[in-house]
């Protein structure tokens, strides 16, 4: 690997060119000059004399300066060759599937914007980071004691930060301690403990991008470029009046930050605000999650133009990107823990390996850590909420810190690991095609699948699920199914609102209940809330609705000889009905049965009836046209003493 190019420097009196914004747009820049270097303020900051501009003397970062060559040195090629490593092509990773001509075009673009790809942080003048604290309060915390063997490391880190212009000596009344944290490669990193400052600072509520929205934008792309800004926070200056609040004590004295440090709770919001402002002209094809920038396109020519436009904006605002962490022109890219591109989204391989090797949790904290990791990828796991239910029950407040590991928790633990380690793949949504929403409900959870395609070509875009509360578990089956529809459409509103889609359910009566008057006030209220959506309902038997059915339930076998009730959804009623309503809505097994198997029947008005039916089976399956005879509980209902219903099995 080629070593980083050495830092540049200019001497007092030297002629330089300065990269400044144009009069038309501050995100477009041009080289102006020649101007004269008046003073070297720090290793990377210079005072420049510019008599033809409004500010006659101005401070510039070295990344906005370049040496001025007189007319006798106008041949650019000769000047570049004579500069050696400083003008060498940055070692940036490129896509392996690029054609030779595409690679040459990319190399030319990288050479033109070589100053952006630097291991040294730049400095922007777009905004400052402000620290708004409560009036009259200051933070002065006694320094932590640093082991003698690490004091040399701390001093070295401070010298390096001084050299880059990140910090400066301080006489502040504020002081926060430092800690040395080991890196993955064994070296040490100097970190600040700003908890005291954060406690009296106002919180910046600037919104962060939604990861799922970013991933879906990238999923369809054929070419993706990711840029990782070099020590991104250090490229944002701290407001001069707030610098004393960042003071920290070291073995070498008291220092304060000139650039935005890590550890302040408003730092991420400030940086996101900066990147949103810079990328606003490019928001259709570029985005940033804090310091991770991504550019995406569906063809090469537009990708090259878009990448150039983003690089122009970064150069104009003084930002630099780490060449060792930038990837240009990839067909598939790793972004925010996912692998995206070519119409697919899947978990990053190293993340799934970490989950596969995850040790068995012993404490509540261990369980929360595991659920946090798997929950980040829950869109890939059908029925996540139902599967994880035994694990989430372990972290309830009234339980001891040491978890009690049972067979059901071990099963859930392994199922979640297997679900992510089987290389799950989701399709990126295509908003030009119709969406398909499959929903289902069980005794303990709700589930839904967002998909696209026709017939056997249906491909999942997103799996969602959630547990039912104790109150919701007491709902009638028809109410649970209706709740599943309302919850799923509300959750998927971003995809569905304003376009027609198909709603697939294995609960047959819902196909006519939608849009009809319903005597159940709860269901009527839910269906009224769905009026902004435009959809048509499709009934699909439970045996053919496997995706959503698996989301809401795991194998739930009832009494001996009874089928899982998920497989009998959609049962039809022939003959006489009760109370003038449609007859059988759904049937589910019950735990007790003195006269053979029992099922709970839910009618369209939301009422439940327990019926016993000692029917026979042939080869383990129910016969067509079974006759179910049962006695209504006389104390609860004023129906006739005996009722006969005929059920046709699906």
Least confident of 64-73, 275-284, 485-494, 532-541: 64-73
pLDDT for 499 beyond 90: no
Residue 548 pLDDT more than 90? no
Main-chain dihedrals φ then ψ at residue 328, nearest 5 degrees: -115, 135
- Choose from 156-165, 358-367, 610-619, 631-640 the range with maximum mean pLDDT: 156-165
| Beta strand 223-228 pairing with 327-330 | antiparallel
Both 450 and 355 in a single domain?
no
Q: What is the mean pLDDT of the chain?
A: 76
Could you give the C-alpha distances from 118 to 4, 9, 286, 315, in angstroms and in order? 8, 15, 21, 12
Same domain, 275 and 139: yes
Query: Are 271 and 166 in a shared domain?
Result: yes
Same domain, 20 and 42: yes
Last residue of a domain, one of 420, 447, 473: 420
Per-residue model confidence (pLDDT) at position 596 = 40
Q: What is the C-alpha separation between 309 and 113, in angstroms, rounded? A: 11
- Asked whether residue 152 falls in the same domain as residue 247, the answer is yes
* Percent residues over pLDDT 90 in the chain: 24
Note the pLDDT of residue 423.
66
Write b or e for each residue in 199-208: b if 16 or more Cβ atoms lie within 10 A of its Cβ, otherwise e.
ebbeebeeee
What was the pLDDT predicted at 25? 55
CATH number at residue 40: 2.30.30
Tell whether the model's pLDDT for residue 102 goes beyond 50.
Answer: yes
In a domain, 339, yes or no: no
Is residue 55 assigned to a domain?
A: yes
Assess whether pLDDT exceeds 80 at residue 169: yes
3-state secondary structure of 608: strand
In this prediction, residue 257 has a pLDDT band, given cuts at 50, 70 and 90, of very high
Domain co-membership, 454 together with 596: no
Q: What is the pTM of this model?
A: 0.57
Please report whether residue 292 resides in a domain: yes
Which has more pLDDT, 543 or 30? 30
The answer to whether the beta carbons of residues 95 and 331 sit under 8 Å apart is: yes
Percent of the chain having pLDDT more than 70? 74
**Mean pLDDT score, 102-115:** 89
What DSSP element (H or E) covers 31?
strand 29-42
Phi-psi region of 570 (alpha: psi -120 to 50; beta: other; left: phi over 0): left
Q: Are 319 and 235 in contact (CB under 8 A)?
A: yes
Q: What's the mean pLDDT in 349-365?
A: 80
Residue 73 φ then ψ, to 5°: -115, 30
Q: Which of 3-17, 116-130, 211-225 has the highest mean pLDDT?
A: 116-130
Q: How far apart are the C-alpha atoms of 68 and 584, rounded to whole Å?
A: 86
**196 and 221: one domain?**
yes
Highest mean pLDDT among 259-268, 535-544, 575-584: 259-268
- Tell whether 27 and 125 lie within a shared domain: no
Give the pLDDT score at 384. Answer: 83
Residue 69: the pLDDT is 72
Write the DSSP symbol of residue 93.
E
Q: What is the pLDDT of residue 619?
A: 38
Task: Using the 3D structure, point to which of 357, 388, 420 is the last residue of a domain.
Answer: 420
Instruction: Tell me what the mean pLDDT of segment 591-609 comes to.
Output: 39
In sequence order, the β-bridge partners of residue 609 are: 601
Question: pLDDT-derived band of residue 629, with 50, 70 and 90 as boundaries?
Answer: very low
> Going by C-beta distance under 8 Å and a sequence separation of 6 or more, which residues neighbour residue 26?
316
Better-predicted residue by pLDDT, 506 or 550: 506
Which tokens hold the place of 182? 């080991």
**Selected residue with higher pLDDT from 155 and 602:** 155
pLDDT of residue 198: 92
| Full DSSP string of 527-556 | HHTTTT-EEEEEE--GGG-HHHHHHH-S--
Q: Does 153 share its domain with 265?
A: yes
Greater model confidence, 249 or 70: 249
Q: Is 537 exposed, middle or buried (0-12, 13-18, 19+ CB in 10 A)?
A: middle
Q: How many domains does the chain have?
A: 5
Q: Which of 391, 420, 449 marks a domain boundary? A: 420
Looking at the structure, do residues 404 and 433 belong to the same domain, yes or no?
A: no
Kind and range of the H or E element at 270? helix 267-279
Q: Which one has a higher pLDDT value, 431 or 537?
A: 537
- Mean pLDDT calculated for residue range 218-233: 89
Residue scoring higher pLDDT (54 or 408) = 408
Nearest to 158 by CA among 188, 197, 183, 119: 188
- State residue 166's pLDDT score: 94
What would the pLDDT profile of 282-327 be if each residue is shown by its tens digit? 999 999 988 889 999 999 999 999 999 999 999 999 999 999 889 9
Which of 344-348, 413-417, 559-563 shows the lowest per-residue confidence on average (mean pLDDT)?
Answer: 559-563
Q: Residue 102: inside a domain, yes or no?
A: yes
The more confident residue out of 386 and 327 is: 327
pLDDT of 502 higher than 70:
yes
Residue 630 lies inside a defined structural domain of this protein:
yes
Rounded-to-integer distance, Cα 530 and Cα 510, Å: 14
pLDDT in tens, 1-14: 444 445 678 888 88
Give the least confident one: 59-73, 194-208, 434-448: 59-73
Per the structure, the complete domain to which residue 75 belongs is given by: 1-88
| 150 plus 288 within the same structural domain | yes
229 pLDDT more than 90: yes
Residue 336 located in a structural domain: no
Q: How confident is the model at residue 601 (pLDDT cuts 50, 70, 90)?
A: very low
Backbone phi, then psi, for 631, in 5-degree steps? -110, 125
> Which residues does 187 contact at the CB level (< 8 Å), separation at least 6?
none
Please tell me whether residues 133 and 249 are part of one structural domain.
yes
pLDDT at 415 > cutoff 60: yes
Q: Which whole number is the average pLDDT over 65-85?
A: 48
The more confident residue out of 75 and 444 is 444
- The pLDDT value recorded for residue 645 is 36
pLDDT over 90 (residue 238): yes
- pLDDT tier, 235 (very low <50, low <70, confident <90, very high otherwise): very high
**pLDDT at residue 649 above 60?**
no
Q: Which residue has the higher pLDDT, 606 or 341?
A: 341
- Whether 515 shows a pLDDT value over 80: the answer reads no
Which CATH number belongs to the domain containing residue 313 in this structure? Answer: 3.10.10.10
Is 622 contained in some domain?
Answer: yes
* Residue 342 lies inside a defined structural domain of this protein: no
User: How does residue 76 score in pLDDT terms, banded at 50, 70 and 90?
Assistant: very low
Q: How far is 394 from 372, CA to CA, in rounded Å?
A: 14
**What's the pLDDT tens digit per position in 553-563?**
443 433 333 33
Q: Is the peptide bond before 34 cis (omega within 30 degrees of 0)?
A: yes
């Amino acid at each position: 690997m080629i070593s980083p190019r050495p830092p540049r420097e200019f001497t007092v009196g030297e002629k330089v060119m300065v990269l400044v914004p144009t009069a038309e747009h501050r995100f477009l820049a041009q080289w102006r000059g020649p101007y004269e270097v008046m003073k070297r303020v720090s290793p990377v900051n210079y005072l420049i004399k510019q008599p033809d501009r409004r500010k006659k003397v101005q401070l510039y970062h070295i990344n906005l300066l370049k040496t001025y060559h007189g007319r006798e040195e106008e041949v650019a090629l000769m000047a570049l060759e004579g500069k050696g490593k400083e003008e060498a092509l940055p070692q940036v990773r490129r896509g392996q599937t690029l054609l030779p001509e595409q690679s040459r075009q990319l190399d030319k673009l990288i050479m033109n914007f070589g100053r952006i790809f630097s291991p040294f942080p730049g400095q922007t003048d777009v905004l400052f980071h402000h620290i708004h604290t409560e009036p009259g309060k200051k933070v002065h915390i006694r320094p932590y004691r640093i082991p003698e063997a690490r004091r040399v490391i701390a001093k070295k880190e401070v010298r390096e930060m001084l050299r880059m212009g990140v910090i400066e000596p301080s006489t502040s009344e504020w002081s926060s301690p430092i800690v040395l944290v080991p890196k993955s490669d064994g070296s040490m990193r100097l970190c600040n403990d700003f908890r005291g400052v954060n406690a009296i600072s106002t919180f910046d509520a600037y919104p962060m991008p939604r990861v799922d929205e970013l991933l879906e934008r990238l999923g369809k792309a054929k070419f993706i470029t990711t840029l990782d800004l070099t020590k991104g926070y250090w490229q944002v200056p701290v407001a001069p009046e707030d610098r004393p609040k960042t003071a920290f004590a070291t073995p070498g004295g008291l220092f304060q930050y000139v650039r935005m440090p890590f550890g302040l709770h408003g730092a991420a919001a400030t940086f996101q605000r900066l990147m949103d402002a810079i990328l606003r002209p490019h928001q259709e094809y570029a985005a940033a999650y804090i310091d991770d920038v991504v550019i995406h396109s569906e063809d090469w020519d537009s990708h090259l133009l878009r990448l150039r436009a983003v690089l122009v904006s970064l150069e104009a605002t003084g930002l630099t990107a780490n060449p060792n962490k930038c990837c240009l022109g990839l067909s598939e890219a790793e972004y925010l823990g996912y692998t995206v591109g070519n119409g697919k989204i899947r978990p990053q391989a190293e993340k799934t390996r970490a989950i596969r090797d995850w040790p068995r949790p012993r404490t509540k904290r261990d369980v929360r850590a595991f659920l946090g990791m798997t929950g980040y990828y829950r869109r890939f796991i059908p029925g996540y909420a139902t599967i994880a239910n035994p694990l989430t029950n372990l972290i309830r407040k009234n339980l001891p810190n040491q978890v009690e590991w049972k067979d059901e928790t071990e099963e859930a633990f392994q199922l979640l690991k297997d679900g992510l380690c089987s290389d799950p793949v989701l399709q990126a949504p295509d908003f030009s095609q119709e969406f398909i929403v499959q929903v289902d409900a069980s005794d303990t959870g709700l589930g839904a699948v967002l998909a696209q395609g026709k017939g056997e070509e249906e491909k999942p875009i997103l799996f969602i699920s959630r547990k039912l509360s104790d109150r919701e578990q007491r709902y009638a089956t028809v109410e649970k199914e209706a709740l599943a529809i309302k919850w799923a459409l509300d959750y998927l509103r971003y995809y569905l609102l304003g376009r027609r889609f198909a709603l697939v359910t294995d609960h047959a009566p819902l196909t006519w209940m939608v849009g009809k008057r319903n005597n159940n006030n709860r269901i009527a209220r839910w269906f009224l809330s769905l009026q902004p959506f435009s959809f048509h309902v499709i009934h699909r038997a439970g045996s053919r609705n496997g995706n959503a059915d698996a989301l809401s339930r795991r194998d739930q076998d009832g009494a001996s000889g009874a089928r899982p009730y998920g497989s009998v959804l959609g049962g039809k009623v022939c003959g006489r009905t009760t109370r003038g309503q449609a007859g059988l809505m759904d049937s589910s097994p019950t735990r007790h049965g003195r006269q053979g198997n029992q099922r709970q029947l839910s009618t369209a008005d939301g009422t439940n009836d327990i019926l016993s039916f000692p029917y026979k089976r042939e080869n383990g399956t129910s016969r067509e046209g079974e006759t179910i005879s049962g006695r209504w509980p006389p104390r609860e209902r004023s129906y006739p003493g005996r009722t006969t219903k005929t059920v046709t099995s699906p």
